[in-house]
Amino acid sequence: MTLLLQISDPHFGTERPDVVEALLQLAAREQPDLAVLSGDITQRARRSQFAAARAFLDRLGATPTLVIPGNHDIPLLNLFTRVLHPYANHRRVFGADLEPVFESRELLVIGLNTTRRARHTNGEVSTEQIERAARRLERATPLQLRVVVTHHPVASVAAEDARDLLHGREAAIRRWAQAGADLIVGGHIHLPYVLPLASRMDIARPVWAVQAGTAVSTRIRAQMSNSVNLIRYDADDPNGRKAVVARYDYDENDHAFVPVLEHALDLASTDAARSPVSARAAGSS
The residues pairing with 183 across neighbouring beta strands, listed in sequence order, are: 147, 208
Cβ distance 188 to 70 under 8 Å? yes
Distance CA 166, CA 116 (A): 11
Length of the chain: 285
Return the biggest CA–CA distance within the chain: 58
Amino acid at 204: A
Distance CA 53, CA 40 (A): 11
List the CATH number of the domain containing 186. Answer: 3.60.21.10
The confidence score (pLDDT) of residue 285 equals 26
Residue 161: burial class (beta carbons within 10 Å; 0-12, 13-18, 19+): middle
Distance CA 235, CA 227 (A): 26
Number of domains in the chain: 1
Q: pTM value?
A: 0.93
* pLDDT tens by residue, 60-80: 998 999 999 999 999 877 665
Distance CA 70, CA 43 (A): 10
* pLDDT tens by residue, 119-130: 778 999 999 999
Average pLDDT score over residue span 11-37: 98
Q: Is residue 281 predicted with pLDDT exceeding 70? A: no
The residues pairing with 130 across neighbouring beta strands, listed in sequence order, are: none
Distance CA 187, CA 70 (A): 9
The confidence score (pLDDT) of residue 85 equals 77
* pLDDT tens by residue, 73-105: 998 776 656 667 789 999 999 999 999 999 999
The confidence score (pLDDT) of residue 174 equals 98
Determine the structural domain holding residue 229 and report its residue range.
2-283
The confidence score (pLDDT) of residue 272 equals 58
The confidence score (pLDDT) of residue 84 equals 76
